[in-house]
Amino acid sequence: MRGLDRAFEILEFLRTRRQPMRPNEIAVEIGGPRSSIYELINLLLRHGMLDYQGGNGRVFLGRKLYFLGTAYADQFDLMRESEEVLARLAEETRETAQMCLLEGNKYTVAMMREGARAFRISSDIGELVPIPWTASGRLLIAHLTDEEILDFIPADDFVLPSGKRLDAGHFIAEVRQATLDGYFTFNSEVETYTHCFAVPVHQTDGQCVATLCLVAPKEDGLRNRQAYLDSLLRAAHELSEQLGYSRGRKRAEQ
């Protein structure tokens, strides 16, 4: 593996572990030669991409990554515009609003704004979750063919938190129906007491590049289903248009 690839692997490993670790632990976990891992960690430390944290030589993501992230957010319309949209959704519904993306072959919450109610969820920004466990997953992979979906999602990811295996054919049918409906809602597979709503955000070519979501207590979600969907759909249409997507042009192409 090239040095640059291995350096990115170290950064991604620490991002997913979300805790400081010793260089030798990182080398063992990612299966890399200790000498080259130590050399790369020292290089990343010198450039501020890693910092010492937690004592005993442990390292974690460095503060320079924060500044790189803020520069990225300033230029990336989706991230910048989503912040205002999520704030408005949380205020309108009093529920937790999220903007979600694909990260490799997993789902992740990229941004979140908690609602006014005392109810809280445990999702962490950046946490990687199997696609079939999520409402958003049905929308984020809708551009793939059936065969591509099966190749893209690891087989073990169809095993739900309950231990039950989700039938892949049933999942694909839900993907296609969600595309026709323009949204997907269900009782969460991760948080059993919540109901999740997801609607697509489209980029210029019509592909779903992200989702806007609401996570509500199950009873409230079912009781306010249409009102929550209306709020989400309005917000997603606004955000899609800001990204250059035209619903009228898409209908004409179809």
Percent of the chain clearing pLDDT 70 (strictly above): 90
Q: Each residue of 111-141: pLDDT tens digit?
A: 999 877 665 555 678 889 999 999 999 999 9
Signed CA dihedral, 35, 38, 42, 48: sign only: positive
Q: 227 and 116 in contact (C-beta within 8 Å)? A: no
- Tell me which long-range contacts 84-90 makes (C-beta under 8 A, separation of at least 24): 85/212, 85/235, 85/238, 85/239, 86/111, 86/112, 86/113, 86/212, 87/113, 88/235, 89/113, 89/212, 89/214, 89/231, 89/232, 89/235, 90/114, 90/115, 90/116
Q: Each residue of 221-240: pLDDT tens digit?
A: 889 999 999 999 999 998 88
pTM of the complete model beyond 0.75 = no
Read off the pLDDT band of 143 (50, 70, 90). Answer: very high
* Domains of the chain from N-terminus onward: 3-66 (1.10.10.10), 76-253 (3.30.450.40)
Q: How far is CA 136 from CA 3, 47, 69, 194, in A?
A: 35, 36, 24, 14
Residue 143 per-residue DSSP state:
T
Tell me which of 68 and 224 has the higher pLDDT. Answer: 224
Read off the pLDDT band of 253 (50, 70, 90). Answer: very low
What's the angle, vertex CA 211, arms to CA 210 and CA 216, rounded to 5?
155
What pLDDT is recorded for position 141?
A: 96
Tell me which of 18 and 73 has the higher pLDDT. Answer: 18
Q: Each residue of 150-159: pLDDT tens digit?
A: 999 999 999 9
Question: Average pLDDT of the chain?
Answer: 87
